[in-house]
Amino acid sequence: MKFGVVVFPGSNCDKDMIHALQNDLNQEVITLWHKDKDLSMFNVSDCIVLPGGFSFGDYLRCGAIARFSPMMQSVIDFANKGGKVFGVCNGFQILCESGLLPGVLLQNAHRQFVCKNIFLTNEENPPGAIYKIPVAHGEGRYFAKEKELEEIEKNNQVLYRYCNEEGNVDIAHSPNGSLNSIAGITNMERNVFGMMPHPERACNAILNNTDGRKIFSDLFSIN
């Protein structure tokens, strides 16, 4: 399995992602520039990663300009053919702007940038698992219209929810006020994944936290 990490002007987590995948998880990584289009070196068992940062300075809405990069047209085609795509933080915002994932990421409910470790729970793999993962965002409040949110819940598209250290899910434990405490979702076909927390920042023992490895294992079966 290969990973392609897309770099946009303003990306500042691309090197974190590349280091985690390449050095901590021993995966093959290819860096992709946003102005390029070629994804011929990847097949549907591989994964394209949209890292965090402030693509194009977050002008307009976060991710709204990056969505029109030449590479994103190829990424959309790749996803529609069944290829895996993973967006973290700004990458999650780009996926929503691109229509590859439902909903949108809005300004945090408290209107402040948040940067700290939070806790997530995974309802499926395995149910009730709890992870400590860093967040760093000002617009991470997940929102979807009522009918759309009902469909997301009905189809089990929620990957992770914010919780406390004991795994209790409540709006009080959300760093941004996301609806239903949603921290990450997938599409109906389960090949496109987006989340606001940064698992790539919790993959090395020197950080005293390797819970990010479990996230990558959950999604891509790599350790």
The model's pTM is 0.95
Map out the domains of the chain with their CATH numbers: 2-220 (3.40.50.880)
Asked whether the beta carbons of 179 and 149 are under 8 A apart, the reply is yes
What is the spatial distance between Cα 6 and Cα 51, in angstroms, rounded to a whole number? 7
Is residue 222 scored above 90 in pLDDT? no
Asked whether the beta carbons of 51 and 10 are under 8 A apart, the reply is no
List, by residue number, the catalytic residues.
89, 198, 200
Q: Hey, is 89 helix, strand or coil?
A: coil
Q: Give the chain's length.
A: 223
Phi, psi of 94 (to 5 degrees): -65, -40
Asked whether the beta carbons of 113 and 54 are under 8 A apart, the reply is no
pLDDT tens digits for range 159-198: 999 999 999 999 999 999 999 999 999 999 999 999 999 9
- Written as six digits, the tokens of 59 are 């002008």
**Cβ neighbours of residue 223 closer than 8 Å, sequence gap 6 or more:** 25, 213, 216, 217
